[in-house]
Amino acid sequence: MNTVDLAATGVRELNRRLQLASDDPSEQSWLVINPKGAHAVAAGLTRPVRIQIDGHVGYYCAGMNQAAAVTIDGHCGTGIAENIMSGLVRVRGNASQSAGASGHGGLLVIEGNAGPRCGISMKGVDIVVGGKTGHMSGFMAQSGNLVVCGDAGHDLGDSIYEAAIYVGGSPASLGTDCVEKDMTPKHRSLLRDLLSRAGIEIDPDRFRRFGSARKLYHFRVDHADAY
Amino acid sequence: MCGIVGLFLKNPALRGSLGGYFAPMLASMGERGPDSAGIAVYEAEPQGRASRVTAFHPDAGFSWESVAAELSRRLAAEVRVVVKADHAVLEADHDVSGVTRGLTDLDPDVRVVGYGKSVAVFKDKGSVAEIVARYGVADMAGSHAIGHTRMATESDVTTGHSHPFIADDDVCLVHNGSLSNHNRLRGWLIRQGMQFETDNDTEVAARYVAHRLQQGSGLKEALEAGLRDLDGFFTFAIGTRTGFAVLRDGFACKPAVLAETGDWVAMASEFRSLAELPGVEQADIWEPEPEVVYDWTLGPGA
């Protein structure tokens, strides 16, 4: 395990070392201490390294992640795992707004609560939130799965495309063109697998599924009021 | 983008350390607001004095001592003055309006930036690090403080357009965001008898809160009314003589973090501003919910 004191190295030096980590076994595991809310910690990683961050981070932590497994032992600011491509990002505390924004792949686990607009414009990432999410989560979500074990804030899934949203509690309200859909055995199986990968123990039978009514795909004057 | 911070000391024993806690909080928000910075610092115990007025003069060599002496003679009241760079804090055994009117009568270039019984306000153009050093923020004592680093988006970069805005005795507000209905609301407030000094949107929010307080609302009720009447993006931190409050609009795109221990409550745009506070490791840390008023009041005797 390599330990990096962020207060001493600064974010650029830390990220450079993480981005350039070789295949050598000595460079596969990293502990970052004293993050103190710094932005862009462990952003732009492309190799399957394991990183643990001991404390709270600022904006865009683990942004654009590919292959790496990043765990934050604390809370995180705006845009955790923004545009994640692959790999695993785990937040042990709470996440601020726009968690997993526009993510293409991989898994983002937020063990606590997520703020507004969680999974905004997600394009294939899977997001599992152990607690609740703020308003307008899943806004314009295009692909992937957003799992909310607690309650979801108002206007869930507004203008959603083909992503799936699973809610264990209840949504305050659904956004435009977001509707409840049947939970089939196929969906329950997918959800069980996601919860298992996220390491969150909760009965999949509690969940309801939401997705697109597909009425906003093409402009129809009959739906003008919904735009 | 702007940076806002607030610190409210629940433990009176820490009042000597207010500035020491607060200065690094404000300084760390410099990247969010390079244009200007400002603070409102509240002394917990006004000790019976009638008024405390902070004023600014653009002339660095301005003789505040002679102005204070002349003001004392005209008001027939004791006036004590403490000068910090181009600002001066005047404490007088006379009411606020007499002191502020007396100051601007003596020199029309004097600009009053803070008034009431307990608040002192310092605000200036330039980098927050320079401003924190220039006014000796780290050495200031008090019960609570709010501060701001400004990235101007909708009105001029001047000392007058800098935050905090004061709108009534000891009522100060800092703002991250922009209001879209400030012109209409300014007109309405003018018709209610409020006077304005700038065309700035945040001044409208400050005057609005002051107006509601003057109408008899408590701070919480005034801000709840603001949720109905203010349109736009905002995270506010508000100080009164005995109170401190935080409010975000429903969209909640302007960031805020709150942290609380048994000793203090701290608010900032970003966690990094709170990272060096003594005891933060044990603090409850959370993001304030949209459209929820968070407020704290000093205990009796403060």
pLDDT in tens, A93-149: 999 999 999 999 999 999 999 999 999 999 999 999 999 999 999 999 999 999 999
Report CB contact under 8 Å: B270, A36: no
Q: Let me know if B95 is exposed, middle or buried by CB neighbors in 10 A (0-12, 13-18, 19+).
A: middle
Q: Measured between CA atoms, how close is B288 to chain A, in angstroms?
A: 10
Q: Say how many residues make up chain A.
A: 227
A124 touches chain B (CB under 8 A): no
Q: Which CATH number is correct for A2-226, 3.60.10.10, 3.40.50.720, 2.160.20.60, 3.55.50.30?
A: 2.160.20.60
Q: Which of these, B244, B248, B185, lies nearest to B219 by C-alpha position?
A: B244
Measure CB to CB from residue A77 to each of B252, B271, B276 and give the nearest one: B271
pLDDT tens for the 302 residues of chain B, in order: 899 999 999 999 999 999 999 999 999 999 999 999 999 999 977 777 899 999 999 998 899 999 999 999 999 999 999 999 999 999 999 999 999 999 999 999 999 999 999 999 999 998 999 999 999 999 999 999 999 999 988 778 888 889 999 999 999 999 999 999 999 999 999 999 999 999 999 999 999 999 999 999 999 999 999 999 999 999 999 999 999 999 999 999 999 999 999 999 999 999 999 999 999 999 999 999 999 999 999 987 55
Q: Tell me which chain A residues have a C-beta less than 8 angstroms from the C-beta of B276.
A: 36
A135 touches chain B (CB under 8 A): yes
Cβ atoms within 10 A of the Cβ of B70, count?
17
Cα(B242)–Cα(B54) distance, integer angstroms: 19
Tokens encoding B14 = 């820490």
Report CB contact under 8 Å: A56, B287: no
Q: Tell me which chain B residues have a C-beta less than 8 angstroms from the C-beta of A56.
A: 271, 275, 285
**Domains defined for chain B, CATH in brackets:** 3-45+125-297 (3.60.20.10), 48-117 (3.30.70.260)
Contact by Cβ (8 Å): B266, B278: no
Tokens encoding B181 = 């209905």
Contact by Cβ (8 Å): B173, B205: yes
**Residues of B with active-site annotation:** 2
**Pairing status of strand B284-286 against strand B36-42:** unpaired
Q: Tell me which chain A residues have a C-beta less than 8 angstroms from the C-beta of B24.
A: none
Cα(B189)–Cα(B179) distance, integer angstroms: 15
Contact by Cβ (8 Å): A19, A46: yes
Report CB contact under 8 Å: B276, A97: no
